[in-house]
Amino acid sequence: MKNIRRIISDYAMIFLGSTIVAFGLTLFTNPAKIAPGGVSGIATILYHIFSWDLSMLILIQNIPLFILGVAVFGKRYGARTLTGIFVLSIATKVFSSIFGFEGILDYSEDMSYWLSCLYGGVISGLGMGIVMKSGSNTGGTDILAQVIAKYTHISLGTCLFFVDAVIIAFSALTFGIQSALYAVIVAYITNIVVDKVMLLMGTTKGITLFIITGRIEEIRGYILDVLQKSGTLIEAKGLYSLERKPMLMVVVAPDQINKIYRAVHEIDKDAFVIINETYNVLGEGFGSLESASLDSDVTKS
């Protein structure tokens, strides 16, 4: 039953994420003639040159790339990836039918291009992050980059950069250098948002404290007995004095941070405390390692 719920949840995320990507493409980047790499970037270029159907361009390009991925890498480019490809194409068709291909902004104003960069990048990154969090993807030229990396021994990052750079360069020839520069901005924003979504979505948030104090036993007792938490003692040495002092690392829930901070201050006003927000807290007292979805085959649309 747990596996069935997980599968349903994953496919729901694929559907939602792919739909969001299509929304950003249809309403912002494509109308602004911004092609930030990937299959959607190629589709944007071809649409504005030949007026071919945007959704069909996405589908037609993705199918051979999907077949290539399956042939080279096997079943990992399976049903979920195919679902992402079809949902992206269908959602693009639906949004194009509702809003048209001109978007919702007035591109006679320069600000509209900046708004398209911002919202196109954020929306696309949000959608891609949701799909990737399910362990799937929406197809794309990253498959080609992975194949090149496999057979040439060039790093994947270099291959990804090369493939997207070629698409952006071609967009510069088609739409002009200004459009290509916008595309670089969109690609940058998209990657940032994808990383944030991958960190935040479906993970357990905690607060990590590193505490250096001369009254370690009292603070240790408070954490164990009052908060009923555990932690780790780390041997540390002062950089200047070279004096050895134990450092306590403990991860607590956000609503416990004020309690432990006040307690440490009352026990030792001279304590040195570092507080960090922490994501992907897995294990006893936090998220389940079994239910975590931290690994995914990631490709851009």
- Please write the tens of the pLDDT for every residue from 22-58: 999 999 999 999 999 899 999 999 999 999 999 999 9
Q: Domain check: are 214 and 137 in the same one?
A: no
Residue 143: pLDDT band by 50, 70, 90 thresholds?
confident
Helix (H, G, I), strand (E, B) or coil at 25: helix
The answer to the question of residue 145 being in a domain is yes
The answer to the question of residue 286 being in a domain is no
CATH number at residue 231: 3.30.70.120
**Does residue 301 register a pLDDT over 70?**
no
Q: Domain check: are 12 and 26 in the same one?
A: yes
Q: Which of 3-7, 101-105, 140-144, 244-248 has the least mean pLDDT?
A: 140-144
Average pLDDT over residues 57-63: 94
The rounded radius of gyration (Å) of the Cα atoms in the chain is: 24
What span, in angstroms and rounded, lies between the C-alpha atoms of 65 and 39?
10
Q: Domain check: are 123 and 270 in the same one?
A: no
Output phi, psi for 278, to 5 deg: -135, 140
Task: Let me know: does 189 contact 57? Beta carbons within 8 Å.
Answer: no
To the nearest 5 percent, what fractions of the chain are helix, strand and coil? 65, 10, 25
Task: Let me know: does 44 contact 34? Beta carbons within 8 Å.
Answer: yes
The structural domain count of the chain equals: 2
Domain around 187: 2-200
**For residue 42, which of 176, 171, 138, 128 has the smallest C-alpha distance?**
171
- Please give the pLDDT value at position 119: 97
Average pLDDT over residues 99-112: 93
Q: Domain check: are 193 and 221 in the same one?
A: no
Q: Domain check: are 15 and 90 in the same one?
A: yes
Task: Give the residue, 159 or 272, on which the prediction is more confident.
Answer: 272
Q: Domain check: are 136 and 253 in the same one?
A: no
**Does residue 91 register a pLDDT over 90?**
yes
How much of the chain exceeds pLDDT 90, in percent?
Answer: 42
- Please give the pLDDT value at position 157: 61
The answer to the question of residue 64 being in a domain is yes
The answer to the question of residue 17 being in a domain is yes
pTM, two decimals, is 0.73
Structure tokens at 207: 């607060």
Structure tokens at 167: 């698409």
Average pLDDT, the chain: 85
Q: Which residue has the tokens 């750079």?
A: 165
